[in-house]
């Protein structure tokens, strides 16, 4: 945590303070001039007090493959994607005016996804400064385009090929036919484990389905390893070739996805009226959500989805022991360990449940088995979360749409994800949120570090704290650090994760996109 704070302070201090400095930093990072309009974008950032003006490496990585295309090829690909692929809308700019349309529904403006409408709103402030452009916007939550490793050089996708070369791109079938895994592993290098896996080598789960992933119980040593960051650096989802944009869940304002949204005055307040003072929040790890998590192609794998694995872990009434480490006495540097049954740990520190089942037909054993394996409870509205110090944020079908709402609250966010997002370069794990590995093995020790041992663990080590009232058992130093993360997260949301910061990101994306779409890209450079 101390290292994370130093890293982030250093990152902020290195941000460019002038247009000339920003141009020099751009050229140093990417080896080319910034795009035309960079000066107008810079003024936009300064007028709106945007703090992150240099951190766009994720965007550069998204766009880098498209430099292998000509401008004409690039323009055609966007148009053909909207014409030929299902669930793809078009945000079109002509003469400084922008509109969102669905070509397949014959230009019916009412048949346009929320994602496309949100992107349209994001370009509103600067659309008049942009040339004519077509943006193909994915209407679904999951990534869509998988580029086989052998075709990573996009110059192979020429105008002469059917569908503009899209025959080389795999469009995963999430509806139970074929195999998404087979499509995905083609994006990996030829010598990688994913490409070498043969059917005879595949592990088989107890229910007879094939499992490519190990459960957290296979790694008992991971109970003691805290992840430095979420899993994006090792994510298998990095194989997707989609260009990331800010989510409509983050940019929009709704009661379901926006912290402190006032339905009466139609505005976002600084503090939610249902926010609970820190001292009155309980110290259980809280999660509510539906059983979303992916498409079962082939069927039988849904028990290994991110949410299913965690809810099953937190629902366990097993007598299997897990070892937790905590300071005794609280606030000291004397750490002790105790072996405690999972049933006791889950009862004391977990408030985790599904609220609805949306995929039980794909779950091994069906709905009855799904209910047996996981705790189900009543639905929770967003404001119900504020009564808890720990808010768990898990991927669903794709990234979690509630992350920004959680970050805006006065609670600490524990986040496990395999996705990179537009803000990944702007946020610091262990300062703004607590990263959780995809095995979840260390979750009990995360809680023990901040909130101390549960009563059974205190008895086990004969701690003098075991006889203290429950409200006094939480170690002050751990609780102080946890609250510091909650406050830092809220500050990040209100200073770096604002709507205008998302607009600045999309503004810069549009400038880069316009240069890629130009016949003469050199004419679209910005030079001082």
What's the DSSP call for residue 442?
A: T
pLDDT, tens only, 420-452 = 899 999 999 999 999 999 999 999 999 999 999
* Nearest CA-CA partner of 350 in 432, 454, 473, 223: 454
Average pLDDT over residues 374-402: 95
What's the DSSP call for residue 479?
A: H
Average pLDDT over residues 217-224: 58
Whole-prediction pTM: 0.89
- Helix axis angle, 499-516 to 38-47, nearest 10°: 180
468 forms beta bridges with none
State residue 206's pLDDT score. 39
Q: How far apart are the first and last CA of the chain?
A: 40
Q: How confident is the model at residue 142 (pLDDT cuts 50, 70, 90)?
A: confident
Pairing of strands 335-341, 321-327: antiparallel
Reply yes or no on whether the pLDDT at 385 is more than 50. Answer: yes
Average pLDDT over residues 447-458: 93
pLDDT, tens only, 312-337 = 999 999 999 999 999 988 888 889 99
User: What is the rounded CA–CA span in Å between residue 186 and residue 152?
Assistant: 11
Contact 54, 23 (CB under 8 A): no
Reply yes or no on whether the pLDDT at 356 is more than 80. Answer: yes
Q: How confident is the model at residue 235 (pLDDT cuts 50, 70, 90)?
A: very low
State residue 210's pLDDT score. 38
Reply yes or no on whether the pLDDT at 215 is more than 70. Answer: no
Pairing of strands 350-356, 97-101: unpaired
Kindly report the CA angle at 302 between 385 and 443, in degrees rounded to 5?
A: 45
State residue 223's pLDDT score. 82
Q: Which of 85-89, 211-215, 443-447, 501-505 has the lowest mean pLDDT?
A: 211-215
State residue 434's pLDDT score. 98
Residues 6+ apart with CB under 8 A from 162: none
Q: How confident is the model at residue 292 (pLDDT cuts 50, 70, 90)?
A: confident
Residues 6+ apart with CB under 8 A from 298: 176, 178, 179, 181
Reply yes or no on whether the pLDDT at 122 is more than 90. Answer: yes
Q: How confident is the model at residue 299 (pLDDT cuts 50, 70, 90)?
A: confident
State residue 493's pLDDT score. 98
Pairing of strands 133-138, 97-101: unpaired
Which of the pair, 431 or 103, is modelled with greater confidence? 431
Query: Kind and range of the H or E element at 57?
Result: helix 57-63
Q: Which of 16-20, 272-276, 362-366 has the lowest mean pLDDT?
A: 362-366
Reply yes or no on whether the pLDDT at 375 is more than 50. Answer: yes
How is residue 324 written in tokens?
């937790």
Neighbours of 236 (CB within 10 A): 16
Average pLDDT over residues 134-151: 85
pLDDT, tens only, 42-80 = 999 999 999 999 999 999 999 998 999 999 999 998 898
Q: How confident is the model at residue 117 (pLDDT cuts 50, 70, 90)?
A: very high
pLDDT, tens only, 473-498 = 555 689 999 999 999 999 999 999 99
Reply yes or no on whether the pLDDT at 175 is more than 60. Answer: no
What's the DSSP call for residue 276?
A: P
How is residue 69 written in tokens?
């295309």
Q: How confident is the model at residue 139 (pLDDT cuts 50, 70, 90)?
A: very high
State residue 212's pLDDT score. 34
Residues 6+ apart with CB under 8 A from 169: 145, 146, 147, 148, 151, 157, 241
Average pLDDT over residues 226-245: 73
State residue 225's pLDDT score. 85
Arithmetic mean of pLDDT over the chain: 86
Which of the pair, 444 or 294, is modelled with greater confidence? 444
Torsion of CA 413, 416, 420, 426, to 10 degrees: 30
State residue 85's pLDDT score. 84
Q: How confident is the model at residue 161 (pLDDT cuts 50, 70, 90)?
A: very low
State residue 274's pLDDT score. 95
State residue 34's pLDDT score. 98
């Amino acid at each position: 945590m101390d290292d994370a704070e130093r890293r982030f302070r250093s990152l902020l201090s290195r941000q460019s303070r002038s247009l000339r400095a920003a141009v020099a930093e751009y050229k140093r990072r990417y080896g080319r001039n910034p795009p035309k309009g960079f000066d107008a974008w810079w003024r936009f950032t300064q007028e709106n007090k945007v703090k992150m003006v240099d951190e766009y490496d994720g965007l550069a990585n998204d766009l880098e493959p498209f430099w292998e295309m000509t401008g004409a090829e690039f323009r055609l690909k966007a148009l053909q994607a909207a014409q030929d692929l299902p669930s793809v809308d078009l945000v079109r700019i002509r003469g400084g005016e922008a509109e969102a349309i669905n070509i397949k529904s014959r230009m019916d403006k009412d048949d346009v996804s929320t994602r496309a409408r949100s992107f349209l709103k994001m370009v509103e402030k600067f659309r008049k400064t942009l040339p004519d452009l077509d943006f193909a916007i994915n209407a679904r939550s999951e990534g869509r385009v998988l580029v086989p490793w052998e075709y990573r050089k996009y110059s192979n996708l020429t105008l002469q090929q059917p569908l503009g070369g899209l025959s080389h791109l795999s469009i995963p079938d999430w509806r139970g036919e074929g195999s998404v895994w087979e499509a995905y592993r083609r994006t990996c290098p030829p010598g990688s484990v994913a490409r070498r896996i043969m059917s005879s080598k595949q592990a088989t789960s107890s229910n007879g389905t094939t499992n490519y992933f190990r459960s957290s119980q296979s790694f008992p040593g991971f109970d003691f390893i805290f992840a430095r960051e979420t899993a994006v650096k090792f994510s298998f989802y990095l194989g997707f070739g989609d260009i990331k944009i800010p989510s409509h869940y983050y940019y929009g304002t709704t009661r379901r996805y926006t912290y402190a949204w006032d339905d009466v005055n139609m505005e976002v307040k600084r503090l939610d009226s249902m926010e609970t003072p820190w001292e009155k929040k309980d110290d259980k790890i809280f999660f509510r959500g539906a059983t979303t998590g992916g498409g079962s192609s082939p069927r039988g794998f849904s028990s290994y989805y991110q949410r299913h694995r965690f809810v099953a872990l937190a629902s366990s009434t097993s007598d299997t022991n897990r070892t937790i480490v905590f300071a005794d006495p609280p606030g000291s540097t004397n750490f002790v360990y105790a072996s405690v049954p999972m049933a006791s740990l889950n009862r004391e520190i977990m408030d985790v449940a599904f609220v609805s089942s949306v995929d039980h037909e794909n779950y091994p054993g069906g709905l009855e088995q799904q209910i047996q394996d996981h705790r189900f409870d009543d639905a929770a509205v967003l404001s119900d979360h504020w009564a808890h110090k720990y808010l768990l944020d898990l991927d669903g079908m794709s990234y979690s749409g509630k992350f920004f709402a959680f970050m805006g609250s006065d609670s600490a966010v524990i986040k496990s994800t395999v996705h990179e997002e537009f803000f990944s370069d702007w946020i610091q794990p262990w300062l703004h949120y607590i990263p959780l590995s995809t095995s979840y093995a260390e979750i009990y020790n995360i809680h023990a570090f901040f909130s101390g041992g549960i009563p059974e663990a205190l008895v086990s080590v004969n701690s003098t704290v075991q006889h203290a009232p429950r409200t006094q058992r939480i170690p002050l130093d751990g609780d102080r650090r946890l609250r510091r993360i909650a406050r830092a997260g809220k500050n990040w949301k209100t200073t770096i994760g604002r709507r205008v910061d998302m607009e600045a990101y999309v503004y810069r994306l549009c400038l880069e996109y316009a240069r890629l779409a130009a016949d003469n890209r050199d004419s679209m450079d910005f030079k001082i």
